[in-house]
Amino acid sequence: MAADTRAKAVTLDLRRRLLSSSCRLFFPEDPVKIIRGQGQYLYDEQGREYLDCINNVAHVGHCHPTVVQAAHEQNLVLNTNSRYLHDNIVDYAQRLSETLPEQLSVFYFLNSGSEANDLALRLARQYTGHQDVVVLDHAYHGHLSSLIDISPYKFRNLGGQKEWVHVAPLPDTYRGPYREDHPNPAEAYANEVKHVISSAQEKGRKIAAFFAESLPSVSGQIIPPAGYFSQVAEHIRRAGGLFVADEIQVGFGRIGKHFWAFQLEGEDFVPDIVTMGKSIGNGHPVACMATTQAVSRAFEATGVEYFNTFGGNPVSCAVGLAVLDVLKTEQLQAHATNVGSFLLEHLSQQKAKHPIIGDVRGTGLFIGVDLIKDETLRTPATEEAEYLVSRLKENYILLSTDGPGRNILKFKPPMCFSVDNAQHVVAKLDDILTDMEEKVRSCETLRIKHPPGKPDLAPPPPADPQHFNLYLLD
């Protein structure tokens, strides 16, 4: 704890000297030094309290006493690998099975969501005998080499797309080719996947799996149209592949209506593999992959042992069980429904008031606010979003942006986030947007109403690329 007394500037200097610059900080121009967390709040070295709107890892709240106590008590007794019999791992698997469709009855425990997705890829390839993967545009599934290869969000800035990876359009009904006015966007987007599969097959490729976050997150807090995944699953399975639902960001009751986001598709929809991470351990490194008996048996038939040194250890499983206990006893899934509905409603009211807000979407405590420069072209308001997040930080509210244009405000707070917290954030958001509209010329262009029948034109860029901040300094 002695390091907590170190001046922030000294800590920052040490980090710059000892850590790679690729390990980036939030708010790099003025980083926050956080030394303590509790519930939905984080505290810096000066004792200042920040409202955390983005930390979906601390699922039931930072340093939840029940979770902390469970880890402590098990650490006092035993922590070892899963090659010994122990009740925690089977108890945990049993509890997880009660939340999932009965077909998903075999569990593998790991340390991170990346490991879970990498294992899912291995199982899919072994079961199908195929190599190729279909993914959604802008997707991110993890930092391992195998997952960078199936993450357009990453590989487009690195080595490019592998021949065994096939990218389908993101089912975004606000920005994509099939929007909110389309009569059947689910079918239209699913047909795009069908076309991608057909194109791959014409080249002699064979599909092992379709990977998708049940609610795409890095892509911009996307809510796929109802029925989309069910139709995609039909196309993928007809091609001999498996459907992998990545629940790493959105599982464990975050969406409110259901425990798992894939359940938004209805009771009849069952993925072949479900991967879990982040929120599963409330900050402790736990992850899981669930699949069917048939898929698991195909993997077992190789005769090669699967062993993960720390996956499923007694402490990790004790933590996982404690998270499930807190979700149940504190009724956090219902809480997410109530608070999320309140937040969505009040953000939608801000949309009616502030033309920079193009779209508000979400379910439970998974919400995105899409900021635009032009209401017809829906041009991403990237600089404005960055500035807004910075201003919120000055008001002790931690929020961040995502999406291809980095213009989506993403809300994924700890599940204990309250109605009062939501009111506070919306009020500050309103104040800052009002101030921006008075000072920032790019926001004023949103109020231009073009004559009927004439296309909207984006305003010409100012000479200085830093125009946004310069306007604010005028």
Summarize pLDDT for 12-23 with one digit per residue, the tens.
Answer: 999 999 999 999
What's the average model confidence in pLDDT over 311-323?
98
Reduced to 3 states, what is the DSSP secondary structure of residue 135? strand
Amino acid at 439: K
pLDDT above 80 (res 326): yes
The answer to whether residues 100 and 184 belong to one domain is yes
382/394 Cα distance (integer angstroms) = 19
pLDDT above 70 (res 46): yes
Q: How many residues are listed for the chain in this entry?
A: 474
262/113 Cα distance (integer angstroms) = 17
The answer to whether residues 124 and 98 belong to one domain is yes
284/342 Cα distance (integer angstroms) = 30
pLDDT above 80 (res 450): no
Give the CATH number, domain containing residue 153: 3.40.640.10
pTM above 0.75? yes
Domain count, the chain: 2
231/355 Cα distance (integer angstroms) = 35
The answer to whether residues 37 and 94 belong to one domain is no
- How would you list the strands of the sheet with 49-52, edge to edge? 34-38, 41-44, 49-52, 397-398
The answer to whether residues 402 and 324 belong to one domain is no
Per-residue confidence band for 465, with pLDDT thresholds at 50, 70 and 90: very low
Q: Are 332 and 415 in contact (CB under 8 A)?
A: yes
**Other C-beta atoms within 10 Å of 362: how many?**
23
H/E stretch holding 318 reads helix 314-329
**1-10, 263-272, 289-298, 358-367: which range is least confident on average?**
1-10
442/464 Cα distance (integer angstroms) = 13
Last residue of a domain, one of 298, 329, 360: 329
The answer to whether residues 258 and 363 belong to one domain is no
In this predicted structure, what is the pLDDT of residue 439? Answer: 77
Render pLDDT for 150-188 as a digit per residue (tens, 0 to 9).
Answer: 999 998 888 889 999 999 999 999 999 999 999 999 999
Burial class (CB in 10 A: 0-12, 13-18, 19+), 454: exposed
Three-state secondary structure readout of 79-109: CCCCCCCCHHHHHHHHHHHCCCCCCCCEEEE
Residues 249-272 as b/e (b if ≥16 CB within 10 A, e otherwise) read: bbbbbbbbebbbbbbbbeeebbbb
The answer to whether residues 110 and 16 belong to one domain is no
Give the CATH number, domain containing residue 376: 3.90.1150.10
pLDDT above 50 (res 417): yes
What's the average model confidence in pLDDT over 106-120?
97
In this predicted structure, what is the pLDDT of residue 441? Answer: 57
In this predicted structure, what is the pLDDT of residue 399? Answer: 97
pLDDT above 80 (res 416): yes
Please check whether residue 473 lies inside any domain of the structure: no
User: Rg for the chain (alpha carbons), in Å?
Assistant: 23
Reduced to 3 states, what is the DSSP secondary structure of residue 55? coil
The answer to whether residues 145 and 248 belong to one domain is yes
In this predicted structure, what is the pLDDT of residue 457? Answer: 36
In this predicted structure, what is the pLDDT of residue 110? Answer: 97
The answer to whether residues 170 and 288 belong to one domain is yes
Per-residue confidence band for 462, with pLDDT thresholds at 50, 70 and 90: very low
pLDDT above 50 (res 455): no
The answer to whether residues 54 and 106 belong to one domain is no
**39-48, 352-361, 397-406, 463-472: which range is least confident on average?**
463-472
In this predicted structure, what is the pLDDT of residue 438? Answer: 82
pLDDT above 60 (res 449): no
356/408 Cα distance (integer angstroms) = 11
Last residue of a domain, one of 299, 329, 359: 329
